[in-house]
C-alpha cells in the first residue's frame, strides 16, 4: 500500500534537500562507497547511517532479531515508529535519525511539533500519524520521479517482487540502535557513544551484509552528517568549500530534472523534426528514413569487422 506516498530514490541529494525543505538546518547526507570507519570519521560530525537493502518478502518474522536484541522499553523513550506505508520508509528512516538528535540538530518547527505531538504515542500510532502527515507527505512526494506511466509500486508486493527497505542506525543515550519500522521494537547493538559511532557501526553493517548471498550487491549506505560546508569554513579549506558548493548545485539540478517527465517534450520534438522533413518536399521523409537505416547498417558492419579483426589479433 502506498497511501498517497510516492517512491523516492536513495540519493544523497534527494535526502539532503528533502530534510532542508522540512526545515532541518545544517545537515546533509553523504553516500558511503566503502565500509570503513576512517571514511566515516573524515566526514566529521555524524548523526547516523541509513541502510537500503533488498527486503526478503517471504521471510517470517522472528521473536528475536538475527543480530542484537530488542529493547522494548526504549520504544517509548526514543522516537521509534512502526512502518505502515511502504513508500514512506525512506523518509521514515531519516526521521528516525533526526528526531532522536533534536538536541544536536535544528529540526525545524514542523518536525518539532510532530515529535511533540507523537511523543506519548505507541510506535503503531506514531507510524499512522506519520503516514497521515500532509506536510511530510507533500515534501516527500515533491522529490519523487515524475512518470506518465502506471506505478507498479501502487500494488501490494508479492514474494516474487524486488522490495527495498530503509533502516536507520544511530547512537541514542550511548547505545547503538537499529531503527527498523518493520520490527516490533528498536534493536540494541550495545554501548556506543556518538564519538565511537564510526567504529561501532562498521562491524554491525558488515554482519548485516554477510547475511545475504555474495551475489547480492544491491545495497546503499547514506551517512547523515553535519553540513560539510560548515567544516570546510571552520578549517579554512576553500577548495573543499567550492567542491561542496558545486555538489549542492548539481544536486539541485538533478532534483529539478526528477520533477519533470520529458515524454511530451520528446514527442513534440519528434513532431517538429518530421514536419521539417516533410516540408523539404515529396520523398524527403522516405529518404531520411532510408539514410538512417543505411547509417545503422554501416555502424553494425563496422562493429562486425572490428570484432573479426580483434579475434584475429587474439
The number of beta carbons lying within 10 Å of the beta carbon of residue 156 is 9
165 assigned to active site:
yes
The number of beta carbons lying within 10 Å of the beta carbon of residue 190 is 10
The catalytically annotated residue of 165, 189, 192, 224 is 165
pLDDT digits (tens, 9 = 90+) for 23-60: 999 999 999 989 999 999 999 999 999 999 877 666 66
Query: What strand order describes the sheet that includes 187-191?
Result: 27-32, 220-226, 46-55, 163-172, 175-179, 187-191, 69-70
**How would you write the pLDDT of the chain (314 residues) with one tens digit per residue?**
455 899 888 899 999 999 999 999 999 999 998 999 999 999 999 999 999 987 766 666 677 899 999 999 999 899 999 999 888 999 999 999 999 998 899 999 999 999 999 999 999 999 999 999 999 999 999 988 765 444 544 444 444 444 789 999 999 999 999 999 999 999 999 999 999 999 999 999 999 988 877 666 678 999 999 999 999 999 999 999 999 999 999 998 988 887 655 455 455 566 666 667 667 777 777 777 788 888 888 888 887 776 544 444 44
224 assigned to active site:
no
Task: Give the containing element (helix H, strand E) for 113.
Answer: helix 108-118
Single out the residue of 66, 102, 78 nearest to residue 183, CA to CA: 66
pLDDT digits (tens, 9 = 90+) for 134-183: 999 999 999 887 654 445 444 444 444 447 899 999 999 999 999 999 99
Single out the residue of 48, 303, 18, 28 nearest to residue 177, CA to CA: 48
SS3 content of the chain, % helix, strand, coil (to 5): 50, 15, 35
**CATH 3.40.532.10, domain 12-258, yes or no:** yes
Report whether 7 contacts 155 (CB < 8 A). no
Amino acid at each position: 500500500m502506498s497511501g498517497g506516498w510516492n517512491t523516492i530514490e536513495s540519493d544523497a541529494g534527494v535526502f539532503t534537500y528533502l530534510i532542508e525543505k522540512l526545515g532541518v538546518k545544517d545537515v546533509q547526507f553523504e553516500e558511503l562507497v566503502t565500509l570503513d570507519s576512517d571514511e566515516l570519521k573524515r566526514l566529521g560530525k555524524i548523526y547516523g547511517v541509513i541502510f537500503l537493502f533488498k527486503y526478503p518478502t517471504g521471510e517470517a518474522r522472528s521473536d528475536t532479531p538475527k543480530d542484537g536484541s530488542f529493547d522494548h522499553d526504549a520504544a517509548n523513550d526514543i522516537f521509534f515508529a512502526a512502518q505502515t506505508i511502504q513508500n514512506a520508509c525512506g523518509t521514515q528512516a531519516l526521521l528516525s535519525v533526526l528526531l532522536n538528535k533534536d538536541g544536536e540538530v535544528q529540526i525545524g518547527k514542523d518536525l518539532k511539533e510532530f515529535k511533540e505531538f507523537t511523543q506519548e504515542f505507541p510506535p503503531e500510532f506514531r507510524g499512522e500519524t506519520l503516514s497521515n502527515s500532509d506536510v511530510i507527505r507533500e515534501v516527500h512526494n515533491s522529490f519523487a520521479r515524475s512518470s506518465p506511466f502506471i506505478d507498479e509500486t501502487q500494488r501490494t508486493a508479492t514474494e516474487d517482487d524486488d522490495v527495498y527497505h530503509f533502516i536507520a542506525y544511530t547512537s541514542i543515550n550511548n547505545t547503538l540502535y537499529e531503527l527498523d519500522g518493520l520490527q516490533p521494537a528498536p534493536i540494541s547493538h550495545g554501548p556506543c557513544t556518538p564519538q565511537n559511532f564510526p567504529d561501532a557501526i562498521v562491524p554491525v553493517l558488515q554482519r548485516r551484509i554477510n547475511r545475504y548471498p555474495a551475489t547480492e550487491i544491491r545495497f546503499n549506505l547514506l551517512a547523515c552528517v553535519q553540513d560539510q560546508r560548515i567544516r570546510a569554513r571552520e578549517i579554512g579549506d576553500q577548495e573543499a568549500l567550492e567542491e561542496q558548493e558545486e555538489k549542492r548545485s548539481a544536486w539541485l539540478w538533478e532534483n529539478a530534472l526528477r520533477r519533470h517527465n520529458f515524454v511530451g517534450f520528446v514527442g513534440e520534438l519528434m513532431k517538429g523534426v518530421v514536419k521539417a522533413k516533410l516540408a523539404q518536399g515529396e520523398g524527403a521523409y522516405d529518404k531520411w528514413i532510408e539514410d538512417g537505416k543505411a547509417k545503422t547498417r554501416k555502424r553494425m558492419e563496422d562493429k562486425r569487422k572490428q570484432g573479426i579483426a580483434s579475434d584475429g589479433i587474439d
